[in-house]
Structure 1
Amino acid sequence: MSLYVAYVLVGLAIAMPVGAITVEMTKQGLKNGFMHGWAVGLGGMTIDLLLICALYMGLASILAMPIVQIPMWLIGAGFLLFLGFDSIKNADQGITLSGEKVTKSFFSSYRNGLLVAVSPGNLVFWVNVFGVVLANSYDQGEPKNFLIVAAGVLSGILLHDVGLMAIISLTRKAMNRTAIKWLTIAAGVLLLGFACYFMYEFVTAIRVYI
């Protein structure tokens, strides 16, 4: 139990810094409420879970290869460019104020979470942290520790997502369409910034390995 609780705190610490997932969650939460913001987080956690399964099945060495990681910088940049431009272009569309009926589908927000989570930064984290945990677990003859750690980290991320969306859902009650529109534009600009960073990392990695 102590191992699980310790890694719940690790999951919270991982999720706290503002990243592309947090920005997209906040944007969707402001425009369409708690469930749509949380759907983005669930999309991100789906990618996290798939990576954990891949590591547990012994694919850590493959995921750590530059030939796998480098293209993901470009893929991630492409997805973030798409979401960033879409946020700015449609900032005044699809806004649902508190108490109004949401017309946007839950799946579209979930899909955005999947797209944002496809980044080598996410991949590198899971390979580095869980690669070590997995190795230690097998060295000690207790591979189940890996699953306990994974459950703890995912629980921590889930707690962060629910807490963030609870705050956002309360905040949006005091906001009008204009305020939400400009915050959506700001979120789009931040996503474009993350896209530029991914492009920079892609170019840097190419120069190193070519």
Structure 2
Amino acid sequence: MDVYLKFVLVGFSIALPVGAITVEMTKQGLKNGFFHGWAVGIGGMTVDMLLIFALYMGLAKILSLSYVQIPLWIIGAGFLFMLAYDSIKNADKDITLVGKKVNKSLFKTYLNGLLVAISPGNLVFWVSVFGAVLADSYTQTKSASFIIAAFGILTGILLHDIGLLSIVSTTRKVMNRKMIKWTSIIAGILLFGFACYFLYEFYLDIQLFL
């Protein structure tokens, strides 16, 4: 139980800083309500769970290689540029005010969460967080601790998502269409900034090989 609670706090703490997933969740939560925001979070957690399994099977050693990380920065930047463009271009679209019927597909919103989560930043996060646990995870006696730690971190992230979207849902009740539109534009600018950061990391890694 101590291991579980410890990693619940780790997961919650890691999820607190504003990242690309948080930006997309907030945007969708304001435009279409709690469940659409949560669909983004579930999309991100789907990738997280797949990464947990992959790391347990030894993916951490591969991801730690510099020449593997370099193309991932470009791929991640491409995804974020695409989402940033969509967020700004369609800022005035797919907005559902409180009390109105939501027409946007939950599955499409879920896919947005998947796209944001498939980024180098997310991969590096899992490698770093599980680094200490992975060293012992290949022995049968320690595999249970790894699984408990994994569920603890996922629980922490889930608690963060629910808390954030509860605040967003309450705020949404007092926002009009114009305010939500500008929130979407700001979210697009932030996503564009994250994409530029990925390109900067790509540049730094390339310099190491020159």
| TM-score (structure 2 length as normaliser) | 0.96
The aligned counterpart of 2:74 is 74
| SS of residue matched to 1:150 | helix
Indicate if the aligned counterparts of 2:44 and 2:114 stay in contact, CA closer than 8 A. Answer: yes
Q: Which residue of 2 aligns with 1:190?
A: 190
Q: Deviations over 1:154-189 (max 9, x none)?
A: 000001001111111111011100000011101111
Cα deviation for residue 50 of structure 1 reads 1.0
Give 1:209 shift. Answer: 2.3
**SS of equivalent residue, structure 1 residue 136:** coil
Q: Is the 8 A contact 1:84 1:191 kept in 2?
A: yes
Alignment-derived partner of residue 147 in structure 1:
147
Match of 2:120 in 1: 120
The runs of 5 or more residues in structure 2 that have no matched partner are none
| Kept after mapping to 1: 8 A contact 2:56/2:137 | no
- Displacement of 1:204: 1.3
SS of equivalent to 1:206: helix
Instruction: Give the alignment's Cα RMSD to 1 decimal.
Output: 1.3
Aligned residues of 1:137 and 1:146 also touching (Cα < 8 A):
yes
- Aligned residue number for residue 156 of structure 1: 156
Q: For 1:52-131, what aligned pairs fall within 5 Å after superposition?
A: 52-131=52-131
Paired AA for residue 64 in structure 2:
A
Question: How big is the shift at 1:139?
Answer: 6.6
C-alpha distance in 1, partners of 2:32/2:68?
A: 35
Distance 1:146 1:91 in 2: 42
Counterpart in the other structure of 1:39: 39
Q: How many residues align?
A: 210
Cα distance between partner residues in 1 of 2:51 and 2:77? 19
Aligned partners of 1:52 and 1:201: how far apart in 2? 24
Measured against aligned partners, the alpha-carbon deviations of 1:136-165 in whole angstroms (never above 9, x if no partner) come to 345793221000000000000001001111
Counterpart in 2 of 1:28?
28
- Measure, in 1, the Cα distance between the counterparts of 2:38 and 2:178: 23
Task: Could you tell me which runs of 5 or more consecutive residues in structure 1 were left unpaired when the two chains were aligned.
Answer: none
Q: Is the contact between residue 27 and residue 183 of structure 1 (CA under 8 Å) also seen in structure 2?
A: yes
Is the contact made by 1:44 and 1:116 (CA closer than 8 Å) also made in structure 2? yes
Q: Distance in 1 between matches of 2:50 and 2:67?
A: 19
1:129 and 1:94 map into 2 onto residues whose CA distance is: 36
